[in-house]
């Protein structure tokens, strides 16, 4: 049995997120259907992160096991021939038998795109949050680095089935920045892990700060606030991209 690692990108607009759901189109479900056709048997695919409905990926990582001896480049071509155009496999490589895309990940980077212009092009609208209203962008940029470091991000997490397990909501953020590129305001964040809706809730909170509704003291308090306290609101899914996932160099 071979362990295969793939890097893929996708437009998440028409999918109900990564995780397979009965009778609904998902990224994981689509990949498993295509791989079952290639393998001639069911194939379980594990992704590095469960992107939500409508969220996109520039470089998601996934892994699965195959008996088929098809070479990696031929497998990439076969998958892309069978997948819908909204999902593309960028790279396929052999991995160590124990490779797990979640457990072995060192860091992930997400990007959230906000379109600030009065008019949002129809060719942009699926991939940005259109917000043409007044914002104190300098204030948002000044507050963004405050979330760097190790914090309990429970206030920025949506309810999840795993909450019953009492798992830690402490995560480490290595970089949190706003960048301006013309009409586009981009929030980029890199960390060792992210909770459900965490990036979208961070963006929603920064937008509230840009409107003058959240002060620095409030943001600091939210980083470790008591259980049940929620930051808000959640920014729309369409502006969010998983940019990449980092792993140790082979042999390290």
Fold of 2-95: Alpha-Beta Plaits (3.30.70)
Instruction: State the helix-helix crossing angle for 27-39 and 72-82, rounded to 10 degrees.
Output: 120
List the chain domain ranges: 2-95, 107-246
Provide φ and ψ at 237, rounded to 5°. Answer: -70, -35
Fold match flag (2-95 vs 107-246): yes
**Catalytic pick among 52, 136, 152, 163:** 52
Q: Is 52 part of the annotated catalytic residue set?
A: yes
- Could you read off the pLDDT of 16-58 as tens digits, one per residue? 999 999 899 999 999 999 999 999 999 999 999 999 999 999 9
Q: Given this model, what pLDDT does residue 116 score?
A: 96
The CATH class for the domain spanning 107-246 reads alpha beta
- Could you read off the pLDDT of 191-201 as tens digits, one per residue? 999 999 999 99
Which whole-number Å values give the CA distances from 68 to 47, 75, 89, 95, 211, in the listed order? 20, 10, 18, 15, 55
Global confidence as pTM: 0.93
């Amino acid at each position: 049995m071979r362990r295969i690692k793939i890097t893929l990108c996708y437009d998440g607009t028409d999918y109900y997120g990564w995780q397979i759901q009965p009778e609904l189109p998902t990224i994981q479900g689509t990949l498993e259907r295509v791989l079952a056709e290639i393998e001639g048997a069911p194939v379980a695919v594990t992704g590095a992160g469960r992107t939500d409905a409508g969220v996109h990926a520039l470089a998601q990582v996934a892994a699965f096991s195959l008996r088929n001896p098809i070479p990696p480049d031929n497998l990439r071509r076969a998958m892309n021939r069978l997948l819908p155009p909204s999902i593309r496999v960028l790279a396929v490589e052999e991995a160590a038998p124990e490779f797990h895309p979640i457990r072995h990940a060192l860091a992930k980077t997400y990007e959230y795109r906000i379109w600030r212009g009065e008019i949002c092009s129809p060719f942009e609208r699926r991939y940005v949050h259109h917000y043409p209203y007044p914002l104190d962008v300098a204030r948002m940029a000044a507050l963004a680095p405050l979330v760097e470091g190790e914090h309990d991000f429970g206030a920025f997490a949506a309810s999840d089935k795993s909450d019953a397990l009492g798992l830690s909501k402490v995560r480490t953020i290595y970089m949190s920045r706003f960048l301006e590129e013309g009409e586009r305001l981009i929030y980029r964040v890199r960390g060792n892990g992210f909770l459900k809706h965490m990036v979208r809730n961070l963006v929603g909170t920064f937008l509230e700060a840009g409107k003058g509704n959240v002060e620095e003291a409030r943001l600091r308090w939210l980083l470790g606030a008591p259980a049940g306290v929620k930051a808000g609101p959640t920014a729309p899914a369409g502006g969010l991209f998983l940019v990449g996932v980092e792993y140790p160099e082979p042999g390290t």
